[in-house]
Structure 1
């Protein structure tokens, strides 16, 4: 796409964002919505519109090379992503379900189901790519040292030299035998053809007749080839087959790829220039403007000392460093900032009032009749107070203020603006100088008090700093059980114990029962949890996976598993989770195919969200088959009936489909594909070996899900709706009877 296209996309994103901000931040609070369907329709519309804005902003961010614009745009991107997550949570709380059907909203906005997917911004991956690459090199070095000393597992033992030579010789004899057999078959075929020609009395063709025969065969081959190519083009045009040209990179695609790489290099170069300019400009400001700033601050503080002494007859107390020092004396806020703070405080107070009213209504039970109009307006569904709308609004206003009317005709290459850096660094220099000035003026104020007020016999009592007070009142901190050990040594220990695997080769099956017999006793269990979570925090972002999550919270441990002690993590796991903070970026995921075997309360306390993965429907299975086959190197042709695969695989999960495709598309089968296209029977034979999900098991899982917190809310809401309908029906019957 051209730069004009991206500019149009950026302008459309700004207009859409401005419209949404005006809708979500009105001058007067909106009235509550009583109809749940209309409220969810509004939430879904906002969710999809913010998702589209997120896609456009992410694309524009990737195209920009100006380092300062990219920072403002990233600030807006973070706010939009946060708002998308907030709306997703609102939809879950409204529908009491993790899955939503928004076909009507998609139709209204003229979108497709693919537009519902929230994209992962590329700058997330790019920012962490270098760090992850360095970490991967370190881990590879650790594994290179660890793997020779690791205990031998269920892998195949090393083959002796004589056995390997014998195996190679056997394979070579078999290959030569197949070639000789084919050669002898061709000789016998030619001899048989000559014998039949002699018996039928056929004459040998002359030179002209032979040429005509060859021409017929060649023309027929060309015609069939052209027809096949036209058919492929026709199928690609209507979207029923992949485009043959798309298999290779065209000239336009190569130019686009080179342009993208060149743009990323420019972004890195401009960012390096910007970082270097921030250091040099700051040093220049400190040397040139620093002395004047320092003297001006001193004069302001001396004037404050004199004015306070003239008004009260005593010199004031100098503000402590913990509360900002002398900066709180000269803090200036714009009217917009004051208004924004007041609006936030008012909204927070209104939210607390609404929450209090909701609690009182739940205690009272059923609603009483004869409520006035104002009370009826207070009832209904409202949007929760957003933490990210101010962030979006701030970024949007900042971009419009700085770059809206900026003349960049002389900045064609989109390099940094020095004046903006000066304005930013001037504040940092002023803050640093103020700390130095505060120390000097505290001493000067003390000397003034001793000289003027004659307070020599009254030594000043030092106040306890807020940091010391917080340290006493603060919450519990995790005791570091391994203070003297490095990250590499902790990682090596987890690899030796089989708890961590090489990321490029890891499979979930490798983790089966890998905690049995390891870190025994209470002290060992504490060390296990400490090491795992410490390594996860140091190597964030990290994912901790617990398979068979129900075993940790068993209601009753089966006899065959008592020796393994599966409930040993029941107490220590929740304690370790409480020590995690949002900035740690550690995600705990547990999977289970028998969650009903666990205690619901303890399981739901450990995991914030419980997701019940439903069986895929026909459309999902159709798309899943296509993607899995293409992912493993297969080619979908007319010989492969994907529709039949989708119909006959009803009752199987996505994991069953993935295993069937992986087992069918071996390296040998992929080599045979040009001559032997794939067929549905190859996958169905392997799929039939797996056990499907029966309706009884699915019903058990659904019943168990209704015992989770979200399931209980859903049942309660359904019961309340049924009671309301029943009450309305009785009222109508009563009115008819009175008539």
Structure 2
């Protein structure tokens, strides 16, 4: 019990802060048009930062708790906080008209650091990957078979000749390397022997202090922490298994003891409602459908008259819909309703946070810290579950009983014309398109996509490996340029919000309209492919890769494209969570027709891609990610119509480049010493991407160079030769990306808002001049008089 006291203490402190934040969020003023947009944005930003702090603390508490019921309570609050963060982010984007925000002043006011802006990824996402293991085994098997099938059989003469060439080359490389190492070791020994040996005590101490003290590898504290976390996970799994067993037994006991009583009670309540309604209106009411809540909607805290009024209003609405031909609402009205809902600040997830906090205060705060399952609390939950199941059965029986009562008491006859109209409507219904793969098993569909390399195994890359620092000059640059410049840290935050959290949590997707499409834009080497792989790793998603090489020789023609997209989206929905990666996404919407054959033209996917996206339901954990390095070659209107969220990935700034050099050298097994000036490397690599820096590090740090690090430390000059052979991102290319981003829907909105603000400022200036001129004239006339 003593080992879990810190987690309970953190749990208590976090709920104290959460209670204050709930009161602040509930009393926040709505974002109406009369309030200043900047003030509303600051209010939303403060709530966002505070919720982020609590989310980070509760995620740590969730990983430390081992009692299953407590973990479920914390998980409910975590999902509510994830949804609330997405809601606040959407409101800030609408107010600021940008995906990137500057929080410099707010961080100072709240006494937070830039590291507090990083959104933690719940570690529970990766554990929920049991279904993916079987697919990974199938992927490994087919990849191994495919690699074996590509081996070409050589004749005896060809094999002998190839071995002779390889052996001569190997011996030559060894002789050259030995000669080079001998010369370098002699120079190093001379330097050590003739170096300055007469240093005084102060200079020697300064030289020792310059040597970095960070050791390679993990220390004993890190190893101990890993052992403790592994032990906690083992206890959590054991307690979860016991909880599932107790849960089944408790539910069965509730069914055996209380099912009959619950059934009789519900039947008596519904019959009493029938009689009260007939006494008031003179006829029996209509029974609510399952979609309207069934009998559960009847016993809320309202009178029978109000229930009948609501039912009659719903009937009138349905009749109006039938008269108008079941027309759907216009898209503009839907958008206006969504904007009004956002503006009013109404939240779909705040009630979950409030309910989770109430459960903590009412149950767990005064509860003992024992790890045993609370059977009484579990019995209450199972009683509600059993009542819901029994209610569905009772509703079916009572509908039939109500129908008989209407026939006997009210003498209601069935109308034949209605049945005829229903038959006619059934005939006029549109026929659904047939599924071309309906007669095939899921395993055969998986194998077909794997063999054609459209379903691949993602690389094991964590999002934390995407190195990027926050832009410390963002607010200053924004004041000068008037346009927010994203940093690599901002890109990581957006990827976490728009991709990782929705794919990892089903509860968030069911109630928040997250965009199903995401476009990553940037020059070659900025990390677009790495981010796609990291999303799959963090969420356990399956990766479907629609690459240009595969599309150039698979499924030709328009029918082939239709079949391919149907197959990919069907399997992706079956293997949720899933990521559909469209590489070089601009080729599907290219302005100029490519030189390839018509039957393999990527543009044949355009119409079917739009149709396939419409088949995705809001609750489907499927995300379509497009990556492009030449977005200006595509038609921008259809391009932005498909991809709802667009993230521009820039080249790294100075702080990010310095962190990249440090982390990449460390990953390759080299520790930067005092002889390696990272600041100079970061300055000379201005305009280079992370891919360029990684290539330079790998070209220098080969195995033989790593062995000589203790004799010959690294210097910055060693990387210059490799960097000189690369082309950086020039200013013209960077400006082309910025100009293209200004043409996107969000960029156009920001430009229009800037024009209106500028126009208002000019009008205010002219009016001020007129007032001053008028005042001066009045003064002059008074003086003359």
Question: TM-score over 0.5 for the alignment?
Answer: yes
Q: Is the 8 A contact 2:7 2:65 kept in 1?
A: no
Residues 653-690 of structure 1, C-alpha deviations (whole Å, 9 max, x = no match): 22322332233333333333333322222323222212
Q: Where do residues 158-557 of structure 1 align in structure 2 (5 Å cutoff)?
A: 162-163=160-161, 166=164, 170=168, 234=209, 241-244=212-215, 247-250=217-220, 252-301=221-270, 323-331=292-300, 384-406=345-367, 408=368, 412=370, 414-440=371-397, 453=409, 479-504=434-459, 511=547, 513-557=549-593
Q: Report deviation, 1:719.
A: 0.9
User: Is the contact between residue 548 and residue 602 of structure 2 (CA under 8 Å) also seen in structure 1?
Assistant: no
CA distance in 1, matches of 2:372, 2:433: 46
Specify the SS of the correspondent of 2:128. helix
CA distances 1:689-713 after superposition (whole Å, capped 9, x unpaired): 1212222222222222211111111
SS of 1:543's equivalent? strand
What is the match of residue 140 of structure 2? 140
Separation in 1, partners of 2:182, 2:24: 83
**For residues 146 and 182 of structure 1, what CA distance do their matches in structure 2 show?**
41
Cα drift, residue 485 of structure 1: 2.4
Give the CA deviation at 1:612. 2.2
2:619 alignment partner, SS class:
helix
**Structure-1 separation of matches of 2:52 and 2:75:** 15
Aligned to 1:348: none
Q: What RMSD in Å do the two structures reach over aligned CA positions?
A: 4.6
Q: Give the direction of change, closer, same or farther, for the CA distance of 1:630–1:40 in structure 2 (3 Å limit).
A: farther
Check if 1:586 corresponds to 2:555: no
What's the CA shift for 1:621? 1.3
1:15-164 to 2 correspondences below 5 Å: 15-26=16-27, 29=30, 34-128=35-129, 130-149=130-149, 162-163=160-161
1:680 to 1:438, Cα distance in 2 relative to 1, 3 A: same
Contact kept in structure 2, 1:499 and 1:515, CA below 8 Å: no
1:567 corresponds in structure 2 to: 603
Contact 1:150-1:496 at 8 Å conserved across structures: no
Partner SS for 2:120 = coil
The answer on 1:734 being equivalent to 2:770 is yes
Residues 476 and 176 of structure 1: is their aligned pair in 2 closer, same or farther, counting only changes over 3 Å? same
Separation in structure 1 between the aligned mates of residue 453 and residue 659 of structure 2, nearest angstrom = 36
Q: Is the 8 A contact 1:542 1:586 kept in 2?
A: yes
In the superposition, relative to structure 1, how do residues 665 and 318 fare at CA in structure 2: closer, same or farther (>3 Å)?
A: same
SS in structure 1 of the partner of residue 648 of structure 2: coil
Q: 2: distance between equivalents of 1:275 and 1:183?
A: 64
Moved more, 51-60 or 133-142: 133-142
| Higher deviation after alignment, 698-707 or 397-406 | 397-406
The structural deviation recorded for 1:514 is 2.5
CA contact (8 A) 1:478 1:579 kept: no
- Distance in 1 (CA, whole Å) between partners of 2:680 and 2:375 is 64
Structure 1 unaligned segments of length 5 or more: list them. 186-216, 339-354, 360-377
Deviation at 1:174, TM superposition (A): 5.8
Q: How many angstroms does 1:297 deviate by? A: 3.7
CA contact (8 A) 2:139 2:450 kept: no
TM-score by length of structure 2 reads 0.72
| Secondary structure in structure 2 of the residue aligned to 1:534 | helix
**Given that residues 58 and 77 in structure 1 are in contact (C-alpha distance below 8 angstroms), is that contact kept between their aligned partners in structure 2?**
yes
User: Structure 1 residues 561 and 229, CA, compared in 2 at 3 Å: closer, same or farther?
Assistant: farther
Aligned 8 A contact 1:21 1:393 in 2: yes
Find the aligned partners of 2:398 and 2:94 in 1 and give their Cα distance.
55
Partner of 1:599: 635
Contact 2:673 2:713 in 1 (8 A): yes
The corresponding residue for 2:524 is none
Give the match for residue 662 of structure 1: 698
Q: CA deviation at 1:433?
A: 2.9
1:68 and 1:118 map into 2 onto residues whose CA distance is 26
Q: TM-score, normalised by structure 1?
A: 0.76
Equivalent position SS for 2:550: coil
* Aligned counterparts of 2:290 and 2:385: Cα–Cα separation in 1: 16
| Deviation of 1:178 (Å) | 8.3
Corresponding residue SS for 1:692 = coil
CA contact (8 A) 2:97 2:746 kept: yes
CA distance in 2, matches of 1:656, 1:553: 29
Which structure would you say has the larger Rg?
1
Following the alignment from structure 1 to structure 2, what is the Cα–Cα distance between the partners of residues 30 and 317? 41
Q: Does 1:674 align with 2:710?
A: yes
Displacement of 1:733: 0.6
Q: Deviations over 1:400-433 (max 9, x none)?
A: 2222333x1xx52x22211111111112222333
Tell me how far apart the structure 2 counterparts of residues 576 and 158 of structure 1 sit (CA, whole Å). 53
Distance of 2:663 and 2:720 partners within structure 1: 17
> How much has 1:93 moved relative to structure 2?
2.3
Partner-residue secondary structure (3-state), 1:82: helix
Match of residue 697 from structure 1: 733
CA–CA separation in structure 2 for the residues paired with 1:80 and 1:476: 43
Give a deviation string over 1:384-407, Cα, whole Å, max 9, x none: 43222222222222222222333x
Q: Equivalents in 2 of 1:87, 1:388: separation in Å? A: 11
* Paired residue secondary structure (1:42): helix
